[in-house]
Amino acid sequence: MSSAAPRFDRGHTDDLMTFLAASPSPYHAVANTAARLEKAGFRKVEETDAWDGTTGGKYVVRGGAIIAWYVPEGATPHTPFRIVGAHTDSPNLRVKPQPDFGREGWRQVAVEIYGGPLLNSWLDRDLGLAGRLTLRDGSHRLVNVDRPVLRVPQLAIHLDRGVNDGMKLERQRHMQPIWGLGEVHEGDLVSFVAEEAGVDAEDVAGWDLMVHAVEAPAYLGRDRELLAGPRMDNLISVHACVAALAAVSALPDLPYIPVLAAFDHEENGSEADTGAHGPLLGNVLERSVYARGGGYEDKARALAGSVCLSSDVGHAVHPNYSERHDPTHHPRPNGGPILKVNVNQRYATDGSGRAVFAAACEKAGVPWQSFVSNNDMPCGTTIGPITAARHGITTVDIGVACLSMHSARELCGSEDPHHLANALVAFLEG
C-alpha cells in the first residue's frame, strides 16, 4: 500500500460499532456518511444545480442513497472511475400508513415486512423506532427513538407445545409489535414520533419509519475475535467504503476517479430511484464527465476503463449446518474479505475481476477467500450484476463473511472489517 495511505486496524472496527449504532435507518446511514465526507473535505452538490468541473471531493444525496466522488488534479474528461458499491438498507419491520391499532386492551403498531428478514430474530427484543419525517414544506427531519418502546412478544410454550418442533410465523398476524396499553387513538404514533423529533404533529405530511433492535454492537468471544451487531448487511461495507474514499482523497497523483455508491432498496430488488437499478449512479458519472468538458465519446471511454467492487456480506461456513455450504469453499471469520462467484451471474465476478481483487488484497497485505454456493442451494444476489449490466462496467462481487445474515443481530469476525477497508483503499489507489 502507498506510504501516504493510512492502514486501518482494530480501531476501524471500534469505529464501525459507533457507525452501526448511529445508523438505524438508511437515512441515518447516509447522514453519517455525509458527515464523514464533509470532515474529509468533500462538499455536497445538488442534483438541481449546474455542476462545475473543479477538482476535489463532491457528493450527492437522494433519500437513502449517496454517491460521492473525488476528482484529482490532472483528471481528464475520459479518466476512468474506480467504484466501491454497497447498500444502506437492511431487512426489518416498517411502519404502515395507518399505524395505530390494537386488540384486547393492547396498543399496537401496524408494520409491513421489508426485505427478507429472519422473522424469529425480531421476537422478544427491545425495539426502537427510527427513520425520517416529511414536513408540509417538503423538508425532512430525521428521528431516532433509540430506547425500548416496542416489542413483538412470542407466544408462551404452554400455549404452543410444539413450537420447538417447528415455528411458523404469519407475517400479518404474528409480527405486529405492542407499544402500550389502553385505548387506540388515531394519530398517537405520529404525535409521539413528532415530539421526539422536535416538530409539531400537524406539520408532518409523511413518514418513512422502521423498527430497530436497541441492543448495542459488541465484541464476542474469549478473545473478542467476533463482532455482533445490527445491520451489518450492509453497513459494514458502507462504513469501509467511506473510510477508503476519504483515505485516498488525500493522496496525490491518483490515476482514477474514486467513487462511493451506496444505494437504498437492495433488499427488495433495487427497483427504485435510489436503487442500483435506478438512474442515480449513471447520471452522476455522466454529469461528472460533462462538467469536465467531455462528451459522449469521453463518457464511453471512461466507463470502458472503469471497475466496480460491489461489496456486500456473504456467508461464513456455519458450524452447525456445514452441509449447507459448498464442500470445497468454507469462508471463515477473520480469513479476510471474500470473493463471491456465481456462473449464473447472481454475482458479477469473472476471472478478470478475480485478478483485480487479488491484486488489491496483495497490495494491501490482507488475506482473502472465495465463496460459491452449494449447487443444491439457491444463490442470493447483489447490486453487482445490476451495476455491470446497467453501466457496462467491469464489476467484482466481494464482502465480509458472516453468520445470521438477515437477522436483527448478525455476527462476523472482528478483524474482517478493517481487512475489507484496507483492500478497498488499495483498489481505489489503482
Long-range contacts of 4-10 (CB under 8 A, 24+ apart): 4/250, 4/251, 4/252, 5/247, 5/248, 5/251, 5/425, 5/426, 5/429, 6/247, 6/425, 7/422, 8/243, 8/418, 8/421, 8/422, 8/425, 9/418, 10/414, 10/415, 10/418
pLDDT one-digit tens code per residue, 149-184: 999 999 999 999 999 999 999 999 999 999 999 999
Provide mean pLDDT across the span 11-17: 97
CA angle 310, 312, 315 (to 5 degrees): 135
Going by pLDDT thresholds of 50, 70 and 90, the confidence category of residue 430 is: confident
Please state the rounded mean pLDDT for residues 364-375. 97
30 in Cβ contact with 89 (< 8 Å): no
How many Å apart are CA 150 and CA 209, to the nearest integer?
13
Measured distance between the N- and C-terminal CA atoms of the chain, rounded to whole angstroms? 10
* Tens digit of each residue's pLDDT (9 = 90 or more) over 76-109: 999 999 999 999 999 999 999 999 999 999 999 9
pLDDT-based confidence at residue 4 (cuts at 50, 70, 90)? low
For 300, the 3-state DSSP assignment is helix
Confidence band, pLDDT 50/70/90 cuts, at residue 262: very high
| Mean pLDDT, the chain, whole residue set | 96
Which of 133, 147, 113, 149 is CA-nearest to residue 190?
Answer: 133
Q: Which pLDDT band, with edges at 50, 70 and 90, does 21 fall under?
A: very high
At 44 the pLDDT is: 98
Q: Give the model's pLDDT for residue 3.
A: 46
Looking at the predicted structure, is the pLDDT value of residue 2 above 50? no
For residues 259-271, give the mean pLDDT. Answer: 97
pLDDT digits (tens, 9 = 90+) for 180-236: 999 999 999 999 999 999 999 999 999 999 999 999 999 999 999 999 999 999 999
Cα-flanking dihedrals φ and ψ of residue 44, to 5°?
-80, 140
Dump pLDDT digits (tens) for 96-146. 999 999 999 999 999 999 999 999 999 999 999 999 999 999 999 999 999
Query: What does pTM read for this prediction?
Result: 0.96
Closest by CA position to 92, among listed 321, 260, 281, 264? 264
Is pLDDT above 60 for 366? yes
Q: For residue 1, is pLDDT > 60?
A: no
